[in-house]
Chains A and B, each alone.
Chain A
Amino acid sequence: MFYYGQLVIGPAGSGKTSYCNILQEGSFKRNIQVVNLDPAAEYIPYKCAIDIRELICLSDVMEEFEYGPNGGLVYCMEYLLQNWDWMQDQLNNIAQDDYVLFDCPGQIELYSHIDMMRKLTQLLVNSGFSISSVYLVDINFIEDDAKFLSGLLMALSASMTLELPAFTVLSKCDLMKDKKKLKRYTKLHKFNEESEYINQDEFSKTYKSFTSGISELVTSFGIGRLLCLDTTDDESIDNILGEIDYAIQFGDNLEPDDKLYDQAEQQL
């Protein structure tokens, strides 16, 4: 049994749900199913194949146990792991050729603090999923170098706990008018060379060696390579999907489209 998909993660408001929605609505040569794993989601624009809220809902937990939002979320995810059979049953309904997107909750605590998400991905891998993690970050974090590095570190700290092929996607690129700036940040190798000379303020001077160490780490691990997501441009989405497909080997076992072949045979 082989399934393919992506685990869509990222901070609140980074556009995870919209990303899932756009992938489902557009035509990208695959049948896309979306699984909602966020028990706190209020409104979902896409068609859910599986919805965690059918199993457990955050507001119920908060009311019943008088937990705060965070405690409630942890409880929900724990409950999901305990009742994995339910999830497994639901997953069995998904056809083999489908491409599954998991819309995950964004709270960083679930990744680095409690290794709940790691357990979840392990379960998914065990049930035959070939998935990659896609970390979405907002466009406004490429404002300056320090912010950029901060965002990359955040992405790195979350994706490293999942132990999956990791991608960082820069969402809402259509809002960025300054294409030159965008290019500078998406081509990370160049950034690494320039970064030390751009900001000549006291902060960068003092932490120069630390910054260069960190940026070298981020770059060499490849997580710093950003993929741009521009919702108005299908090509950017194709590009992202292409990169991910390559990593998770999606399409390797697909049959070639043999319509042309049939036609040729008939003509003969």
Chain B
Amino acid sequence: MDIEFQIKENKVAILIIGMAGTGKTTFVQQLSKQLKNEKHTLINLDPAVYSLPYEPEEDIRKSINYKELMTKNKLGPNGAIMTALNLYSLQLNQLIEKIEKSDSNIQIIDTPGQIEVFTWSASGNLISQTLSMSMPTIIFYVIDIARCQNPNSFMSNLLFSCSIFYKFKLPMVIVFNKCDVADSKQPLEWLRNYDSFTEALKNKDTYLSTLSKQMVLTLEEFYNNFTVLEVSSLTGQGFEKINEVIATAKQEYMNITLVDIQKRMNDQKQKNYDKQINQITQKIQNL
């Protein structure tokens, strides 16, 4: 069994992941506006969304009726989203084919609001894996900066983003959204300058601040490893470098993720080859 393996290097898929209410959908809309010079496709994977401010070319809601799924199979809201994604991943190859045939270079994929459903389900994993094996895939993790005013919740958000990073093993860009809201400077300052973060934690002497203080030291490492983007999806500020950011993330994919995938593929091939050789020698011996 030989697996066809060809990466479409000129294309890129962007997975937009973030917690509910961080403004993923608005971000997608703004991103599409900013990238109007490039050919791009918008893909919606959220079956439960009521209305979208943009027109997706590919929509999960076209093929799956979320409400019907819920009433027919007596599923809860989370279960229904998961089932919808599972059903959708069955026809994933059609989506990939469509993308490969089309001439659009950038695929922007909006994911369901319930973050666990996408990150901890088999189908979410399948979708990201399949995408990453057919074209460069990067993750945009969206964080709502207005919810990061407390140092502890800021830390919690960052920890969660690390969790996503280790789960998908794809290049990740952290997007701090809603920068137009007042007081967005503070958290960003924490991220860049960890002395200020220690200062902020000084007055808080709870058991968790101890953790945060430890985390501060890792923070520097964090800042070195991830691209951070500060944007406001509403006003469009901070999008100037978006092309650059996508290009660097893509490069990262080529240097790291692709090498791993190729290695895995070669291992698999080698295994298959060995198996065949074994079978043949066995047959010869039997003769």
Please tell me the size bucket of the interface on B. 35 or more
Tell me the A90-120 residues at the B interface (CB within 8 Å).
106-109, 111-115
**A247 sits at the interface (CB 8 A):** no
B197 to chain A, nearest CB (A): 15
B275 to chain A, nearest CB (A): 23
Given contacts A70-B114, A109-B20, contact A154 B260 (CB under 8 A): no
The interface residues of chain A lying within 8 Å CB-to-CB of B224 are: 210
Contact residue among A107, A114, A154, A217 (Cβ-Cβ distance under 8 Å from B214): A217
Contact residue among B156, B169, B207, B256 (Cβ-Cβ distance under 8 Å from A157): B156
B163, A154: Cβ atoms closer than 8 Å: yes
B204 to chain A, nearest CB (A): 10
**B238 sits at the interface (CB 8 A):** no
Contact residue among B162, B206, B257 (Cβ-Cβ distance under 8 Å from A214): B162
A150, B163: Cβ atoms closer than 8 Å: yes
Taken together as a complex, chains A and B put the C-alpha atoms of A158 and B156 apart, in Å, by 7
**B133 sits at the interface (CB 8 A):** no
Stretch in B89-97, B146-154, B276-284 touching the partner:
B146-154
A68, B50: Cβ atoms closer than 8 Å: yes
**B159 sits at the interface (CB 8 A):** yes
B163, A151: Cβ atoms closer than 8 Å: yes
Q: In the complex, what residue of chain A is closest to B160 when comparing beta carbons?
A: A157
The interface residues of chain A lying within 8 Å CB-to-CB of B76 are: 40-42
**A147 sits at the interface (CB 8 A):** yes
Taken together as a complex, chains A and B put the C-alpha atoms of A136 and B259 apart, in Å, by 34
**A203 sits at the interface (CB 8 A):** yes
Taken together as a complex, chains A and B put the C-alpha atoms of A11 and B124 apart, in Å, by 15
B260, A153: Cβ atoms closer than 8 Å: no
**A209 sits at the interface (CB 8 A):** yes
Tally of A-B Cβ pairs under 8 angstroms: 138
**B9 sits at the interface (CB 8 A):** no
**A65 sits at the interface (CB 8 A):** no
Contact residue among B160, B215, B222, B255 (Cβ-Cβ distance under 8 Å from A108): B160
B232 to chain A, nearest CB (A): 18
Interface membership of chain B positions 38-60, coded 1 if the CB is closer than 8 angstroms to chain A and 0 otherwise: 00000000001110000000000
Tell me the B74-131 residues at the A interface (CB within 8 Å).
74, 76-78, 113-117, 120
A250 to chain B, nearest CB (A): 19
The interface residues of chain B lying within 8 Å CB-to-CB of A220 are: 214
B156, A111: Cβ atoms closer than 8 Å: yes
Given contacts A107-B116, A221-B211, contact A157 B157 (CB under 8 A): yes
Tell me the A152-166 residues at the B interface (CB within 8 Å).
152-154, 156-158, 160-161, 163
A114, B147: Cβ atoms closer than 8 Å: yes
**A213 sits at the interface (CB 8 A):** yes
**B217 sits at the interface (CB 8 A):** yes
A108, B19: Cβ atoms closer than 8 Å: yes
The interface residues of chain A lying within 8 Å CB-to-CB of B74 are: 42
The interface residues of chain A lying within 8 Å CB-to-CB of B215 are: 217
Taken together as a complex, chains A and B put the C-alpha atoms of A141 and B164 apart, in Å, by 13
B19, A12: Cβ atoms closer than 8 Å: no
A residues touching B (Cβ–Cβ < 8 Å)?
Answer: 11-13, 40-42, 58, 68-71, 106-109, 111-115, 138, 141, 146-147, 149-154, 156-158, 160-161, 163, 201-203, 206-207, 209-210, 213-214, 217, 220-221
B residues touching A (Cβ–Cβ < 8 Å)?
Answer: 19-22, 48-50, 74, 76-78, 113-117, 120, 144, 147, 150, 152-153, 155-157, 159-160, 162-167, 169, 206-208, 211-212, 214-215, 217-218, 221-222, 224-225, 255-257, 259-260, 263
A-B pairs, top 7 by smallest CB distance, nearest first, are: A69-B77, A153-B163, A150-B166, A157-B159, A112-B156, A70-B20, A150-B167
Beyond the given A153-B159, A163-B208, could you list 8 further A-B residue pairs with CB under 8 A, ordered by the A residue number? A12-B78, A68-B49, A109-B19, A109-B115, A147-B167, A158-B156, A201-B259, A210-B221
